Each structure stands twice: as structure tokens, then as C-alpha cells.
């Protein structure tokens, strides 16, 4: 009985995500990766909802489009990223909300001089705004040991 029940139990514990939602959210996360690597605030902003919040490690929380734009402008003025995202999990919580968990790695070029490894874990809370998945909340932290 247990061996025949395991596939059913596995299906019950795995979050159900429609193929369309998974495709749309994957495209959103790849667009975000591309915008980061291009140091493009103008490409990042449309990926956020109008009520979006950006929570970067070691920085104040940026709330709303103008604050988010200022945070990315400040970031891109200081560094250039070359990272790739690995999408670890996408969970559709409702027709309007989902979340994604990712890990990213690559390198960061410090504009004042120098280069270092970049390795983070990220959590995206996503909301469907006017039929399009966008970033509602985003936070990340480094997974590299402190130096």
C-alpha cells in the first residue's frame, strides 16, 4: 500500500503551477537577469508593479517606482553585474499571486576598481498586474562567506 501511495503523496506535496504561469514567470525572471547585466534601470522598472518593493542586502528598503529607480541607479553607478539566475522554485498561490525562489552567481565589477565573485539567493513575490506577472516584492542576500 505504501509503495503505491508514494506517487500520489508526491503529487500532493508538489505545488501545482500551470504551464502558462511557469513560462510567463520564467520569462520575467530572465528579463530581470538581462536588465541587471545591462545595468539598465529603465529595463528593470517595468518589471515591478506600481506598488513594488525592493529589499537589497545592506540598503534601505525601496518602496514604489521612484525609490526603486533611485536604488537601481545607485547600484548601477557603483557596480556592473555579470550574473546568471537558476530558478529553483515557482509556486502559484492564486490567480493573482505567486512566488519564485532563485539562486544567482557570477561576478561583479566594482567601478572604482576590482572584481569579485557574486553569489546570492533571492525571493520574488510576484503579482499579476493587468494580466502580466510582475515583481511585487524582491529581496536577496549573499551566500558567500563574509570577508
User: pLDDT tens across 42-75, in order?
Assistant: 999 999 999 999 999 999 999 999 999 999 999 9
Q: What is the DSSP letter of 130?
A: T
Total tally of structural domains belonging to the chain:
1
Q: Is the pTM for the entire model greater than 0.85?
A: yes
Res 8 pLDDT > 70: no
State the residue range of the domain holding 38.
Answer: 17-142
Q: Report the C-alpha dihedral over residues 64, 67, 71, 76, rounded to 10 degrees.
A: 90
Handedness of CA 24, 29, 35, 37 (dihedral sign): negative
Res 27 pLDDT > 90: yes
The proportion of the chain whose per-residue pLDDT surpasses 70, expressed as a percent, equals 89
CATH of the domain at 110: 3.10.450.50
| Residue 84 included in any domain | yes
Look-up of cell digits 521612484: 66
Amino acid at each position: 500500500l505504501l509503495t503505491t501511495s508514494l506517487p500520489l503523496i508526491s503529487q500532493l506535496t508538489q505545488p501545482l503551477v500551470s504551464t502558462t504561469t511557469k513560462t510567463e514567470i520564467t520569462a520575467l525572471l530572465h528579463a530581470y537577469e538581462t536588465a541587471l547585466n545591462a545595468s539598465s534601470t529603465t529595463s528593470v522598472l517595468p518589471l515591478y508593479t506600481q506598488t513594488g518593493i525592493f529589499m537589497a542586502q545592506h540598503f534601505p528598503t525601496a518602496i514604489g517606482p521612484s525609490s526603486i529607480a533611485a536604488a537601481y541607479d545607485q547600484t548601477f553607478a557603483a557596480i556592473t553585474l555579470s550574473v546568471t539566475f537558476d530558478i529553483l522554485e515557482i509556486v502559484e498561490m492564486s490567480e493573482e499571486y505567486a512566488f519564485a525562489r532563485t539562486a544567482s552567481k557570477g561576478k561583479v565589477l566594482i567601478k572604482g576598481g576590482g572584481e569579485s565573485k557574486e553569489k546570492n539567493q533571492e525571493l520574488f513575490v510576484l503579482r499579476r498586474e493587468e494580466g502580466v506577472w510582475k515583481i511585487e516584492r524582491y529581496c536577496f542576500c549573499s551566500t558567500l562567506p563574509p570577508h
